[in-house]
Structure 1
Amino acid sequence: MTNGFVVRSLEEVRFWSRIMKEHSLFLKLGFRSEDTQLIQEANGFYAIFENIENKSHAYTFDVDPAVIKRFNEEVHQAVSHIWVFKRKVLGLILTCKLPGANNFPLLVDHVSREANYFRNRLAELNTGRLEPLPDAIIDENVFFLRIMADHAKFISHLLDPSERKLIEQANNFSQEFDQLLFQARDLESMRPQSQTLPLLDQFLDQNRVSVKSLRDFKKTARELIEACRIKSIIHPLLADHVFREAEHFLFIIDMFEHSLTGKPVPKMHPMD
């Protein structure tokens, strides 16, 4: 294992442990006051991932790779547990066991998909079995395009119904990313013949344009929410949360672009 393994591992854990911590808070806020057991479990996961996040920032990039491998295993176990929790909550909602709660089923499924993604990434890093670049480009984009499409839907449904213009914009982004996701899945099903440099390069360029637009929309929405200038039930932290995930996706696109064509990319993760 090399320093690259340590850097990649710590960057992933620093980003995703904060995301998992915030998922715990958002789920808790959506439970009913009588759901004391679920609230307690969510609080427990918040504490677990806050501790993981703090530990990840305490490590430096020159730490022994064996230490990080053990840390990844510890994090993997925690992520597996929160994934089980999220799927349990989804089951309760879909069987009408939590009437009146405020967590959308799609949101709970969404956060469980992110947990599964994080868990798989940790396993890949520890085994050294990362996907070949052409496969990674398609698979990562399929995953993140769906995440972005979900975000647009959540924003639309959490804005006050009177915010007609913003809802229209969010719905347009939802349709745009649904179309991009369909295109990505078409490219996926055409593998390996579709994995030519020109097609993959165009694929990344097209997605980047749309993700930047959505990122900017999220940034504006976050600023409006923080300034209390629009009507919504969107928590300010949720607005920042979805903005950071768009930034993360853009960083991944840029890294793929560099690996594919040698074009320059940012020197560090935008969240660092």
Structure 2
Amino acid sequence: MLPREKYIQISLEINLFYQRIMKEHMLLIETHLPSVETALITEADSLKISMEQILSETVILANGNISEESIESHSIVTPFTLPCEEITSKLTGATINTNITMAELKLEAGTPSCTPWLEMEIDDINRRTLNLLDVIISYKKKLMEWVLNCKVFLMIYPEMLEHLIREARLYKRILNCLLDRKLPEFTLCEELDFWNNIMGEHAEFIDGMLDPTEKDLKEKARGFIARFERLVEECIKTAEKLIIQESLVATEDLRDYEIDATIGLLECKIRSVIPPILADHVLREAYHYILILNHK
């Protein structure tokens, strides 16, 4: 059972990462639906705003109650998050609460205040997030069904939508465990395979969304696809320490590639259909996976 201090700190750090990821999922869907789908766009926007509201509360509670490592990991926000939000909002017309990002950039670390009040506040955040997450998962599953049955046209790949559903389900599993004052139990290969698949799919999406003229960037993306596919295939038969190290090196290389791509998109030097916030989004997930691997 997690002691109160650990429960508070881990809950805050998990929510700071995943609440932003979830609200950006809804932003991605909102901005990639055709204008005729007004009801679906409105629903996605409403879910995005609801998650932003909870994230705003989490940020307030997190100040002084999270680790220096989590702040410095760039898994909460990167140096590119704010400009990516501003440009994406300008280009798409979608609203993004950048005040949250500015507050996160000012977060300070500290030992959690182990008060019953704060523990109850964290419980409330976790439960409300879990309830909202159920609605978000249902929305994504409904959208997936309609896309696959040609009832809705969505300008992102069905595989990407499935990718968003899997990430939401993992977050739900983590929150359920936290509410029981424990962490989810993953086998090593289960956890590594999940994130190596996620990293490989990021490379697939980047490859598919880059302009055909960006041959060098596309070739590098395909190289990452092959590396992460091999890591998934070899997890069971490879020594644990070796597969962890290989995953770390591959993810650090992907992170560096994504940093360059994010800068290129912000400076309008890369031809693609990648929204800047999506570039920062996948970069943050790489940072998050590196954080996980560094604790193995």
Give the drift of 1:58. Answer: 1.0
- 2:273 corresponds to 1:233: yes
Give the drift of 1:137. Answer: 3.1
Q: Which runs of 5+ in 1 are unaligned?
A: 188-193, 257-272
Give the drift of 1:181. Answer: 1.5
Match of 2:263 among 220, 223, 230: 223
Cα distance in 2 for residues equivalent to 1:125 and 1:202: 30
CA contact (8 A) 2:15 2:58 kept: yes
CA contact (8 A) 2:231 2:243 kept: no
Q: Which residue of 1 aligns with 2:103?
A: none
Q: Which residue of 1 aligns with 2:37?
A: 35
Match of 1:49 among 45, 48, 51: 51
Match of 2:159 among 88, 106, 113: 106
Give the drift of 1:67. Answer: 2.5
Amino acid at match of 1:58: I
Q: Secondary structure at the match of 2:295?
A: helix
Amino acid at match of 2:35: S
Match of 2:214 among 152, 163, 169: 163
Amino acid at match of 1:46: K
Give the drift of 1:66. Answer: 2.9
Q: Which residue of 2 aligns with 1:264?
A: none
Cα distance in 2 for residues equivalent to 1:139 and 1:70: 29
Q: Which residue of 1 aligns with 2:242?
A: 202
Cα distance in 1 for residues equivalent to 2:281 and 2:184: 27
Q: Which residue of 2 aligns with 1:144?
A: 195
Cα distance in 2 for residues equivalent to 1:41 and 1:123: 25
Match of 2:125 among 61, 71, 77: 71
> Equivalent pairs: percent with the same residue?
30
Q: Which residue of 2 aligns with 1:96?
A: 150
Amino acid at match of 1:104: Y
Q: Secondary structure at the match of 2:197?
A: helix
Amino acid at match of 1:149: G
Instruction: Give the TM-score normalised by the residue count of structure 2.
Output: 0.78
Q: Which residue of 1 aligns with 2:181?
A: 128
Cα distance in 2 for residues equivalent to 1:169 and 1:89: 32
Q: Secondary structure at the match of 2:183?
A: coil
Deviations 1:240-267 (A, max 9, x none): 11001000000011122xxxxxxxxxxx
**Pairs within 5 Å for 1:167-206:** 167-184=218-235, 186=236, 199-206=239-246
Amino acid at match of 1:176: R
Cα distance in 1 for residues equivalent to 2:17 and 2:184: 20
Deviations 1:85-136 (A, max 9, x none): 111111111111124x30210111001111111111001111134245xx44
Q: Which runs of 5+ in 2 are unaligned?
A: 66-112
Deviations 1:36-76 (A, max 9, x none): 01100110111011011111011143253233122211111
**Pairs within 5 Å for 1:227-266:** 227-256=267-296
Cα distance in 2 for residues equivalent to 1:255 and 1:66: 28
Q: Secondary structure at the match of 1:59?
A: helix
Give the drift of 1:200. Answer: 2.1
CA contact (8 A) 2:204 2:222 kept: yes
Change (3 A) 1:136 1:57: farther
Q: Which residue of 2 aligns with 1:82?
A: 136
Match of 2:205 among 137, 145, 154: 154
CA contact (8 A) 2:27 2:45 kept: yes
Give the drift of 1:206. Answer: 1.2
Cα distance in 2 for residues equivalent to 1:180 and 1:201: 13
CA RMSD of aligned residues (A): 1.5
Cα distance in 2 for residues equivalent to 1:203 and 1:167: 25
CA contact (8 A) 2:123 2:179 kept: yes
